[in-house]
Amino acid sequence: MKLSMSRVSIALLVLIAVGSGCNTYENQNFAFNTREFAVANPAFPVSLNEIQRNNANHRVVVAVLDTGIDYLHPALIPNLHFNLNEFDAPVAPFTRFTDRDRDGFAGNVLGYDFLGKDGLPSFRVVERKTAQRDLGFEEQAGLSHGTHVAGIMTGRDYRIGVIPFRILPIDENDLPRVAGEAVVDSRTLADALGRTLRDSIYLAKRQGVRVANMSIGVDSNPPEYREADLRRAFADFTNYVNNAAPEMILTIASGNDSKDVSSGYKTYPCQVRAGNAVCVGSVNSKGEISEFSNIGNQFVDIYAPGEDIISTVPGDYEGAPAGAVEAMSGTSMAAPYIGHVLAKMLIEKPCLKARQAIDLMVQSADPRQTVVRAGGIGSLPAGATYRYRVVNLNSAIRAARGAYCFQ
């Protein structure tokens, strides 16, 4: 086989593209009990008793750092893991926003929305002038992405609790301003994204998250992107993760650029070098590397299914009914599948350390090889043999079951 497979419709791998118009959005910090807040954050239909029961069923907790989710999706509701320390018990959780758990983020009952500055990380955005959803922006920016990723990571296994964080789009109020206008450039976006990622990991750690997925990517190849800004922002993030959350596993999409990321092509956060991070490429149903997937053994640790993956999508989005599912493709789909595998391993053996779980998963994966296509990829010449590993869920669980836990 060749390292160039069947063409598929590629879902959005969330990209921070300077000047694209999809990086930022106007402030969504609406006052509680306003029409804007109600449109952005529909009322949650589940009782506090059911929330408590669902939380009690969760044997491992994961996080999705993405575009927010449809928290009303019936397939996801049993997986949603709430921060019970933030509730004004026994009152319903969304009546007022106070920082009862004193973590510095008021009202973070369900992850956090860094765009809306509230604890309801919905995928919706609302125009302030009309108090209506901005459906055009939601579609253009691919804001169904986080819901799809969350469905893959949980996989209808209701032992897996999920905490969503909306890290994209970036709140314009988080950027410096000149003459009243937000300054949107490489440095300001990189700094804002780095802060949001750090804050997400901080909150996730406080709530017991073991695996956090980041199906996001930004590269420095167009001239608008300065690698120095990205390198600095992600170096700071890496240092924070290494020091503050070394036992939280990070699953990261490698990117959809058909590049060799080990030969000079810069893309973050795949190239974050934290000991608890795993960068994921995509394969098709035959285990062949997807044509769109980035590769490179220096950074891409493992491969997982990423083509035509059926998962949850928001209701009332592009005409989708409540409870809808849809097929998408991309390394954005492969990364949360790895997160799902790791979650199941940790259910099987909760005492596994982060690096130990990653190593067991990689070592138990199926070894594969392919021939680089004509023209080569990066430093790999045409005809070269490229070796890689494809995750094997059952083998990974068996490896976890038989592992010795280090103290």
Tens-place pLDDT, residues 165-193? 999 999 988 888 888 888 888 888 889 99
- Residue 9 domain flag: no
Q: Which residues pair with 164 in a beta bridge?
A: 64
Whether the pLDDT of residue 42 is over 60: the answer is yes
- Residue 46 domain flag: yes
State the DSSP string of 120-146: --BS--EETTTTEE-HHHHHHTTTTHH
Alpha helices in 251-330 (DSSP H): none
Q: Which residues pair with 388 in a beta bridge?
A: 368
Supply the pTM of this predicted model: 0.93
Given this model, what pLDDT does residue 378 score?
66
Residue keyed to tokens 């391993």: 345
Please report which confidence band the pLDDT of residue 12 belongs to, taking 50, 70 and 90 as the band edges.
Answer: very low
- Residue 28 domain flag: yes
- Residue 406 domain flag: no
- Residue 320 domain flag: yes
Mean pLDDT computed over every residue of the chain? 88
Q: Is 227 exposed, middle or buried (0-12, 13-18, 19+ CB in 10 A)?
A: middle
- Name the residue range of residue 194's domain: 14-401
Q: How many domains is the chain partitioned into structurally?
A: 1
Given this model, what pLDDT does residue 20 score?
47
CATH code of residue 214? 3.40.50.200
- Residue 8 domain flag: no
- Residue 3 domain flag: no
How many other C-beta atoms can be found within 10 angstroms of the C-beta atom of residue 49?
Answer: 9
- Residue 100 domain flag: yes
How many angstroms separate the CA atoms of 396 and 48, rounded?
Answer: 35
How many angstroms separate the CA atoms of 281 and 293, rounded?
Answer: 6
